[in-house]
Amino acid sequence: MKKTQKIITILMLIAILTMSLFISTVNAAVTIASGAANSTVTITRNVNGVTNPVTNTFTYTIAFDSTYGAAKKSGTATGFPTSTTVVFNNKAPNAAGTATQTGIVDFAGTTFNKVGDYRFTLKETETGDSTKYPLDGEKTYYLYVSVRFAEDDEDGTKMVATVGGSGIKNNTNDENASPNPGTKEAVVFESEATFTYITISKQVTGNMGDKSEYFDVTVTIPGTTGDTYTVSGGSHASNPTTVEAGKATVLKIKHNETITIGLSGNKKQIPVGINYTVAETAVEGYETTIDNLTKGTLTTTKTAAAIPETNVLPDANKVSIVNHYEVATLTGVFFNIMPYVVIALAVIILIAMVKRSSKSKREE
């Protein structure tokens, strides 16, 4: 009897230990610690085609892929980041016209319940200023976390999670794909900034229009404080090389000249959608017409538009000024009174002849 009880007791202990081991294995998990090595993925964000500093925030969405790897075998991930940002705060571009800023996807605090490979998708989903800085929305990166048993694991409860520092772009990287499901690379998002430029042209007409005379044109273009817009064209030595955003600037322009503002090389600088103003200083004798509108117009306000793919500058970005000075010629006045002059001369001559005839008769 006692022997039987001992056997039963031993069997119960074995059962309890087995169940404890099983429960420990099932409940095993690993949480990535804050500040742990290999816990983050770096995002590099480029804004191309700019000359002024960039201020903008790009937002990214992270999602757990339940169709991949360990997730297909009841593997779960909890506490993972669902979004992150890359913030440009007045970031100056390099000489090539690209402003670069970085951000991170931090998996600290993420818990995985079993060994295997886990995958997350990363997409750029928001931009603070979509007019200036469009999304790189067509791109998807796949981020990977590997969970393995630690080298010193003895009972299947000690695991280590390692975050891949790179991603695979626009490829599902299905583990069954062959021969190569994708190449890991740095996570880089980029897009071309959307800006525009404007032009001001001058024509002088009329028989008194002086084609060598310079006219003063005041230009005001809003924008971020500190931004400047490049000035090119025009021949007057006093013209500035840049226009400061929000500041009224005087430019001098003469007949058959065109001044371009906001174009530096192939980089456009003026924000699309802003209302800019061009005003000409009146000059005595000249009648001013802007954009073929009512004569006598000295000021126009227009909304800067984006340059289409055809690269043809929209009318909204072109200001055409015509100065006309016309005066009737003296020659024309002389011919107009000529008949009266002839009649007057004929009368004078006739009177003279009559007087002379009368004088001759008296002398006889």
In the prediction, which pLDDT does 340 show? Answer: 59
Q: What does the pLDDT read at residue 332? A: 53
Residues with Cβ within 8 Å of residue 47, at least 6 apart in sequence: 54, 56, 88, 93, 98, 99, 100, 133, 190, 191, 193
Distance CA 72, CA 62 (A): 19
CB-count exposure of residue 355 (10 Å: 0-12, 13-18, 19+): exposed
10-residue mean pLDDT profile of the chain (364 residues): values are: 57 50 56 87 96 97 94 95 98 97 96 94 96 93 92 87 80 47 81 97 97 98 96 97 97 98 96 96 95 84 93 95 92 55 65 62 53
Residues in the chain: 364
Q: Which CATH superfamily is domain 195-324 in?
A: Collagen-binding surface protein Cna, B-type domain (2.60.40.1140)
3-state secondary structure of 195: strand
Q: Determine the pLDDT at residue 213.
A: 97
For residue 53, whether the previous peptide bond is cis, meaning omega lies within 30 degrees of 0, is: no
Residue 11's pLDDT is what? 52
Give the Cα separation of 57 and 68 in Å (integer): 31
| Nearest alpha-carbon partner for 190 in 2, 362, 58, 17 | 58
pLDDT value, residue 169: 74
Taking the whole predicted model, whether its pTM rises above 0.85 is answered as no
How much is the pLDDT for 362?
52
- Domain 28-192 in CATH 3.50.30.10: no
* Token pair belonging to 79: 């506490």
Q: What pLDDT sits at residue 26?
A: 45
